[in-house]
Chains A and B, each alone.
Chain A
Amino acid sequence: MDLLSQTIQYAVSGVTGGSIYAVIGICWSLVYLITRVLNFATGEFVMLGGMLTWAFSSMGFGILPSAFLAVACTVAISMLLERLVIRPIRLPTEMTYMMITIASASVIKGLVLLQWGSESRRIEPFFGTGVIHILGAGVTPQVICVVVLMALITFGLHLFLNHTLLGTALRASAVNLTGARLIGIDIGRFRLFCFGLAGGLGAITGIVTAPITFTGYEIGLLTGLKGLVAAIAGGWSMAGTVVAGLALGLLEGFGAGFIASGLKDVFALVVMILFLIVRTITIPGIKRRT
């Protein structure tokens, strides 16, 4: 394998990972912008999507019905989390929000471990196991499916947020919560809706990636955290998150390929910390965006 095909191979895996991080990042920012909650259970929704699909399909359902059931269950869990856990907090500060979502994440993770054990699970690829060769690099149909689906989701969300009344109302509440409430937007329902949407998107991501990277009870936290990196680096905007997610994925792909695959997860986190530090540096004469 020469350098060119190697590079293409890493780029392909980078774009696959990056598109996933972008969608997960959008899940984080959907919830964060409306509710001001950083939902650390986002990654667990990704894990739940994959694990529930595996569980339903091993119960004898077909792949499509079980994927559908898994998404529905995850949406329900996500909405219940908002309604029963996050909304009743008595002292809602950033600290309590974060503690309670981290606690919920560990509960979800532990319950999945108890129910289905610690083995990695695999879902059969949707379009067979053939390999398409492009310039010496192998691309499976599943990879193409992931990238296309993620692009469709992002495009659909873009249309929804910018060209429907509900989407416009969502954007309005993200900009100014009090103002949105004053013109008659029901924030409580929107919070529920955002959690549901984030849960559903997370679950879909988890399902389509499960044939490539396998799924298991412990994948949630790190996958979710990388989505958070994309969201933070993208400045919580959708276009920014997509660009940051793809860049992150490519960095991870090349870093894992050319430097050390064991440290794959470290690169993203180091980038996050460096990015956060660089954000705080103010250069005299240049006005910072707030």
Chain B
Amino acid sequence: MTETTLQTQELRINMGPQHPSTHGVLRVELVTDGEIVKRAIPHIGYLHRCFEKHAENIDYMGVMPFVDRMDYVASMNNDMGYAMAVEKLMQVEIPKRAEYIRVIMAELNRIASHILAIGTFGLDVGTFTPFMWCFRDRELILDIFEMTSGARLLYNYLWIGGVWMDLTPGIEEKIKEFCDYFEPKIDEIDTILSYNSIFIHRTANVGIISLDTAISYGLTGPNLRGSGKKWDLRKDEPYSVYPELEFDIPVGSGEQGTVGDCWDRYIVRVREMRESLKIVRQALKQIPEGLFRAPIRKVRPPAGEAYTKVENPRGELGFYIVSDGSLKPYRVKAKSPCFTAISCLDEVSRNEMIADVVAIIGSFDIVLGEVDR
């Protein structure tokens, strides 16, 4: 009888770049020991479109369409961040009506973005029906956006100083109708997905991010709130007209497992949609008459630099703009929340199963357009 020794070695697997569960083109290099992931190294850059270089060569208004294309499922929110940064440098006052229109659009876009995240997250962990339901309802929001801005995905609707056009006649009714229609639909999502025991088994106690890790990596938005931190820029560093509106901030509490697991990050998004509906309803009631854009003749901020951040569906989107007093920005740096979220994938995925890495990436809700810019 001959003696044989079993050789073991770690196996490197490429996940992506065209893997459907990576939400775009992300390549993750997995170092595996059987089914267990030892390391998960993300490789990004496949969607790099040189946003920051482009921004140096066009005027301030011209940057806006590029900003739209960063996080392409939450264009309105992106525009708001960039517009606010330039307005801070120019020190212009925005008409109240414009602020309300912005908030309504931003919150509707937040719902559209979250519902996409929820649907695709369900798809990632193996359930198809919620995905179809979510897309059906998202379509209604896109119709509202089409009526307001003329575009379904990339709106370029928020301009520096206000918005492009006043609200279309009759759109308020349409938005109210949507709110009434959509509220019971969130209950349906809860029934079919959130409290579905198979779904809970796939997501609870998976990919736990402790609060310290989340803060050290600079996670923001639902990813941070999922780890139990009650922090939302709309409430804690209020901008626009958010102080005049009433809403709560849902946080993860480890209801089904441990604080900071995939389920917590997911449920924060579901609950945020209800809050967004609340905000939209109030804003529609309170919206005043008046100008929809400040009378700005030329966008030419004085020399200086400003950093603003807004609460996007995916976290805090920051814009650092340096102006030298000319018509073009000297430097525009976009700090993307998805970029920081995906940077902690390696630490979170260690010692998880390969199938769970898919759940973890899905729970981060990344958009590669924003990661790569």
Chain A bound to chain B: no
Residues of A at the B interface (CB closer than 8 Å) are none
